[in-house]
Structure 1
Amino acid sequence: MRVASGIAATLLLTTLSAAPALAADGVPALNGAKLPLLWGIPFAGMLLSIALFPLLASHFWHHHYGKVALFWGLAFAVPFSLTYGPSATAHEVVHTAILEYIPFIILLFALFTVSGGILVTGNIKGTPLVNTVILAIGTVIASLIGTTGASMVLIRPLLRANDGRRHNVHTVVFFIFLVSNIGGSLTPLGDPPLFLGFLKGVNFFWTTTHLLHDTAVVAAFLLVAYYLLDRYFYSREDATARKAPDPTPATERLGLRGAQNVPLLGGIIGAILISALWKPGINFDVYGTHVELQWVVRDVLLLVFALISLAITPALVRERNGFDWEPIKEVAKLFAAIFLTIIPVIAILKAGTSGALAPLVNLVTAPDGQPVNVWYFWLTGALSAFLDNAPTYLVFFNLAGGDPHQLMGPLAVTLEAISAGAVFMGAITYIGNAPNFMVLSIARHRGVKMPSFFGYMAWSLTFLLPPFALITWLYFI
């Protein structure tokens, strides 16, 4: 908490010192065309810290990851302030905090808190068939309550179902693939990039009809692969593991405790939809950042739903769920640094053909001016695996013309490629999509020895590249 307070204090002091200049002169938007790739070093350092420290210095990381996050945040903010001035720095920090980080962490906090009050009871045995069914259900509901909501609701029951097994890492990895990412591809509620498309004018059910076949192919491939893999690991469980005492009482019936939290999940979805559909025309200017009333109302409602959940849920329910605050604290600290250090990288990407990443951007357009859908899929996806997939989606959406009617009509395959890449390939790394790291943190705190950052990527590249190559051949060539 001291580290988080230090980050907040640093940002606040920077903002306050810049306030007069911002108020008097305003601050222009960051020009990514003039930024060299060297500004991406703090972001790369943050990613490498997440990747290497848990593997090489796990004790240090566990106790000091907040300090490491603060170091990389300052490694960007201090040189940027010295180069471009405190006003420009404060503007970018405030813009990122208010429009991206704060809504992001409030949504995660609300879903984490509310879902932590929902307890699926019963002595569920984590057999290959049962586990596959749970993953399939999660894949389906991810487009209804979002990948974050589905992940937070189902990860704890899945971990309890497998608490007697020695081999359970693969189950969490495939859960991240399917429930935390690929399942969210069918509605704007499923994943933030699609919600941005909805705000830009893409019809609500457009992704349902145009990504259904992509999602079905990838999900079917992964579910079959998981079932076969889980059967193999299940057969390797030795007699001692099979006879070990089950922490869940054998006589407990299948049921639901904390059902009063289910309407709160619906309230969270409703608050998100209201922020998109309600346009009161009231807005505020916060140090050069345009803030609309409906966004404030949304975030307040999310916090209210979380507080209601804390008030109405019996402590025993959360205790049996293994609920604690460490996962959300870890995500809040690490992603504060990620959102901060990613500022120049996103600005360079937004500069398109004028920025330092122009060679990549040029790949998506053929010499005759037609979009190259294969590259739209793979570039949107590859960048979404490491950067925030929502702004990455928006960049390629605009590179394809930015006209929703054209993109839903003559360029429908291009929009399909952008949408599928942004959603599906968020599964490639732990930071590709918001719930990935939450699931990782919860699993680790429940005793699952999850793979390192690169270890996870070995899993993801092995099992995700084949279905991604398949849908490329089927739909984008």
Structure 2
Amino acid sequence: MKRALALAIGAPVLLPATPAFAAGDIGGASLGPLWAVPFAGMLLSIALGPILFHRLWEHHYGKFAAFWALLVLVPLFLFRGAEASLGVLLHTALLEYLPFIILLFALFTIAGGILISGNLHGSPAVNTAILAIGTAMASVVGTTGASMIMIRPLLRANDDRRHNVHVVVFFIFLVSNIGGSLTPLGDPPLFLGFLRGVDFFWTARNLLPETGFAVAVLLALFYVIDSVLYRRDNRLPKLKDPTPDRDLKLWGKVNLPLLAGVIGAILLSANWKPGVAFTIHGVAVEGQNLARDLILLGLAGISLWLTPRPVRAGNEFSWGPIQEVAKLFAGIFVCIIPVLAMLQAGRDGAFAPLVALVNHADGSRDTVAYFWLTGILSSFLDNAPTYLVFFELAGGNARELMTSGALTLAAISAGAVFMGANTYIGNAPNFMVYAIAKDRKVKMPSFFGYMLWSGGILIPLFVVQTLLFFR
């Protein structure tokens, strides 16, 4: 039994022990494709677990993440040595995972302390305005923060209408996904790019035309659809409004300057270079990044201290979502270590066929392939690690990608953020919005029913965007 277990753990390697690897170097060119199995298993678990075995997943998702992570860590230490394995693990934890999860924690905590009470009448003009405001907010407070702040006011505004499913569907398109494409705060893939060296304002400068076009088309289409259905509702007997119209009121205003502080902390880390670093096992944590993370944690603490409890209660705030994200992304960041090493090996690594798929015969990058492949995988798998995979496929050099490779980086960024809207599982806020709407008695479409909406509306939009921006 023990021998079988040892063989199972060592199976991904298919190589003898090689003790000569330096700290942080696990020899990506010599890794076999089976090293990617835990990463694929991790992403498939996240995609299918909540659908196929919801109760089991809800109570044991952390154990799933730990299982897949151990399938990487155990053979990594056995066959690549403690020096190399510990170096790459610390690099991932200190320079990528912790900054990533600290930012999400700060945005989640601060946005969770902002509450909009009251109710408006859900006319086409009002609904379109709410969607536009939520879309603009998404790049400032993140798609998760904007979704949690805006979905309940939108549902209250439309809870006396017979036809309101489309309102939530377009909300997922715009607020939970496309709206977060302009800053690293907006969506996790873009913050991972920021951690890899992409400038804070690069996405706003380079994705504004694509984002503006998508938002304008979707808002105009929504207004037309909502106007038709609104007139149809008015021809039928009125339903009782469970939340009568009353003036809106904003609670938790203390969190607004704290959000500005989050932006300030990110900009500080991008522009202030004190030349101080703290080194742990060869991994240097630069002073500006440590300061950024400490400031973000401090801002989250101030939000918890100053926000009245009834405000968070009104948002049905709980720590469950951020705990789930922290555990699952810990597994993702561990499982992606060998995958990134193989991608960095380029044509010499196990993913040489994938490298060929996103490049023309002359070796130049195929931006259309980058946009669609990043987008298709982001539709069904988590868009943050998908972004990292294609970022590395494109060379992984942020400075080069922001200049001569700008179109490729724009295609990767847009694919990861925009096409997360194609399914309920493409981006974390999608399923959260679905669950809240369903709890409020909105007859939300099934998983495949939602894909009929996205396939009929978003896919043609993305085809047009390809022709306009990525050829």
- TM range, smaller chain: 0.7 to 0.9
Matched, 1:178 2:168: no
Aligned equivalent of 1:30, options 26, 33, 58: 26
**Match of 1:365?**
359
How high is the sequence identity, in percent, across the aligned residues?
58
1:158 paired with 2:145, answer no
Equivalent residue number for residue 398 of structure 1: 395
Report the CA distance between 1:52 and its aligned residue. 2.8
Q: Quick one: which of 123, 136, 143 aligns to 2:139?
A: 143
Give the deviation of 1:286 after TM superposition: 2.1
Tell me which residue corresponds to 1:110: 106
* Separation in 2, partners of 1:171, 1:421: 23
Say which SS state the counterpart of residue 186 (structure 1) adopts: coil
- Mapped contact 2:96–2:195 kept (Cα < 8 A): no
- Other-structure match for 2:130: 134
Find the counterpart in structure 1 of residue 463 from structure 2.
Answer: 469
Most deviating of 442-451 and 102-111: 442-451
Paired with 1:199 and 1:338, the residues of 2 have a C-alpha distance of: 16
Query: Residue 270 and residue 417 in structure 1: after superposition, are their counterparts in 2 closer, same or farther (change >3 A)?
Result: same
- Contact 2:197/2:399 (8 A) holds in 1: no
Range 301-310 or range 332-341, more displaced = 332-341
Residue 65 of structure 2 is matched in structure 1 by: 69
Distance 1:469 1:170, change over 3 A: same
Alignment of 1:374 with 2:368, yes or no, is yes
Q: Could you list the per-position Cα deviations for residues 253-307 of structure 1 after superposition, in whole angstroms to 9, with x for gaps in the alignment?
A: 2121111110011111111111111111111222332211111111111111111
Question: What corresponds to 1:95 in structure 2?
Answer: 91
Shift of residue 467, structure 1, vs aligned partner = 1.1
Q: Give me the whole-angstrom Cα distance separating, in 1, the residues matched to 2:162 and 2:73.
A: 44
Query: 1:170 and 1:261, CA in 2 relative to 1: closer, same or farther beyond 3 A?
Result: same
Match of 2:293 in 1: 299
SS at match of 1:342: helix
Q: Say which is worse superposed, 190-199 or 260-269, in terms of deviation.
A: 190-199
CA 1:46–1:279: 2 relative to 1, 3 Å: same
> Which stretch of the first structure deviates more once superposed, 141-150 or 52-61?
141-150
- Residue 320 of structure 1 aligns with which residue? 314
- On the 8 A contact 2:262/2:299 being kept in 1, the answer is yes
Q: Provide, for residues 179-225 of structure 1, a one-character-per-residue CA deviation record: whole Å limited to 9, x for no partner.
A: 23322333455446556767888776554454333223222333344
Q: Deviations over 1:24-79 (max 9, x none)?
A: 99514233322222222222222232333322332222222222222222233233
The reply on whether 1:347 has 2:341 as its aligned counterpart is yes
Which letter does structure 1 place at the counterpart of 2:86? A
Work out whether 1:420 is the aligned partner of 2:385. Answer: no
CA shift for structure 1 position 472 = 1.1
- Aligned with 1:253: secondary structure? strand
| Alpha-carbon distance between aligned partners in 1 of 2:180 and 2:288, rounded to the nearest angstrom | 24
Q: In the aligned structure 1, how far is the partner of 2:195 from the partner of 2:50?
A: 38
Query: Do the aligned partners of residues 455 and 98 (structure 1) sit closer, same or farther apart at CA in structure 2, a change above 3 Å counting?
Result: farther
Gaps of 5+ in 1: 1-23
User: Which moved further from structure 2: 388-397 or 439-448?
Assistant: 439-448
Please report how far the alpha carbon of residue 370 of structure 1 lies from its aligned counterpart in structure 2 after TM superposition. Answer: 3.9
Instruction: For residue 119 of structure 2, give the secondary structure of its aligned residue in structure 1.
Output: coil
Q: How does 1:204-353 map to 2 (within 5 A)?
A: 207-227=203-223, 243-244=239-240, 246=242, 248=243, 250=245, 252-353=246-347
Query: Bigger CA drift: 257-266 or 171-180?
Result: 171-180
- Cα displacement string for residues 99-154 of structure 1 (whole angstroms, at most 9, x for unaligned residues): 22222221111111111111112113445543332222222333344445434433
Residue 308 of structure 1, CA deviation: 0.8
Q: Is contact 1:147–1:435 with CA below 8 Å preserved after alignment? A: yes
Matched, 1:53 2:49: yes
For residues 234 and 83 of structure 1, the distance between their equivalents in structure 2, rounded to whole angstroms, comes to 64
Q: Is the 8 A contact 2:121 2:157 kept in 1?
A: yes
The 3-state SS of whatever aligns with 1:254 is: strand
With 417-426 and 444-453 compared, the bigger mean Cα shift is at 444-453
Pair 285,400 (structure 1): closer, same or farther in 2 beyond 3 Å? closer
Aligned position for 1:85: 81
Once the two structures are TM-superposed, the CA of residue 162 in structure 1 deviates from its matched residue by 4.7
Counterpart-to-counterpart distance in 1, 2:21 and 2:35: 25
Shift in Å, 1:414: 4.1
2:65, 2:198 → 1: CA distance? 36
For 2:192 and 2:329, how far apart are their aligned partners in 1? 20
Contact 1:380 1:422 in 2 (8 A): yes
TM-score, normalised via structure 1 length: 0.79
* Inter-partner Cα distance in structure 2 for 1:116 and 1:316: 11
Specify every segment of 5 or more residues in structure 2 that has no aligned partner in the other structure, as ranges: 1-19
In structure 2, relative to structure 1, the CA distance for the partners of 1:428 and 1:347 (3 Å cut) is: farther
Counterpart of 1:175 in structure 2: which amino acid? F
Supply the AA of the counterpart residue of 1:328.
Answer: I
Q: Alignment partner of 1:280: what SS?
A: coil
2:392 maps to amino acid = V
Query: How many residues are matched?
Result: 449
The answer to whether the 8 A contact 1:183-1:190 is kept is yes
The one-character-per-residue Cα deviations of 1:338-381 (angstroms, maximum 9, x if unpaired) are: 22222222332333222222222223433344443322332344
Deviation at 1:445, TM superposition (A): 7.7
TM-score, normalised with respect to structure 2: 0.80
Distance 1:289 1:317, change over 3 A: same
140-149 or 278-287: bigger deviation: 140-149
Q: 1:426 to 1:54 in 2, by over 3 A?
A: closer
Which deviates more from structure 2 when the two are superposed, residues 332-341 or residues 102-111?
332-341
CA distance in 2: counterparts of 1:219 and 1:362, whole angstroms: 33
Bigger shift: residues 277-286 or 93-102: 93-102
Alpha-carbon distance between aligned partners in 2 of 1:163 and 1:109, rounded to the nearest angstrom? 31
- Cα distance in 1, alignment partners of residues 237 and 91 from structure 2: 52
